Structures are given as C-alpha cells and as structure tokens.
Amino acid sequence: MTCDKNKMAAKRQRRGKGISEARLEEMIEEAAVDAYGESEQTVGFYTMLEDNLSVPFETGMLGVKVTVCSRGKQRQRIPVLDLPLPSPVPEGAERIEAFRRRARGR
C-alpha cells in the first residue's frame, strides 16, 4: 500500500464509518453534560470510554500487532486520539470518534 493509500484509509477510519454527525454530537453532549470546564469534560469522555469501550482488542502500531487492554504487566501509553482502530472496530469505538471530533473543535 502506498503512503497516500494509508493516509486515505486512516482518514476513513477516523471519520467513523456509519456514525452520523448527529450521533457524534449526541455522544459529545452526553460526555460533557454536567461538566464545568475543559478538565471535567475530558474526565467525562474518559469515563464514557471506560464504561463503553470493549477491551481487550488488537490493532496495529508501526507495523506491530498490539493488544489494547486496561491491565497487564507491560504497558505503553498511547493517546486515544492517536490510537489506530482495527477493522472491524471494537464495541464502543464510536465513543473514540466522538472524543476525536470534540478534540478537533467539532
């Protein structure tokens, strides 16, 4: 695959195939409904991810298969905004798309 094709595939993945703009906005509002300020909104998103994202799941990072999970001996922190999602996406991955949309400023 060429670099341009990789970028296009990543862009399609980030868009969240099948997730409507209205649903993304609804999830953003759900995460931030009772939040005061940026830091509380971020905590709302992390709580939403923790409650809804199905882990573990496998994805690829720099050509290496990795398992995304919430426990284990070896850890590597990867910002959720930079996490490549596998295909098919895990249950709850639409919440990551909502978080990405909010981080971009909608």
For the full predicted model, state whether its pTM sits above 0.85: no
In this structure, is the dihedral angle defined by the CA atoms of residues 50, 76, 91 and 54, taken in order, positive or negative? negative
Q: What is the pLDDT of residues 13-51, one digit of tens each?
A: 444 457 899 999 999 999 888 888 888 988 898 899 889
User: Does residue 99 contact residue 88 with C-beta atoms inside 8 Å?
Assistant: no
45: part of which helix (H) or strand (E)?
helix 38-52
Geometric angle at alpha carbon 37, from 92 and 100, rounded to 5°: 30
Answer whether 48's CB lies under 8 Å from 31's CB.
Answer: yes
Place 67 in a pLDDT band, splitting at 50, 70 and 90.
confident
SS3 59: strand
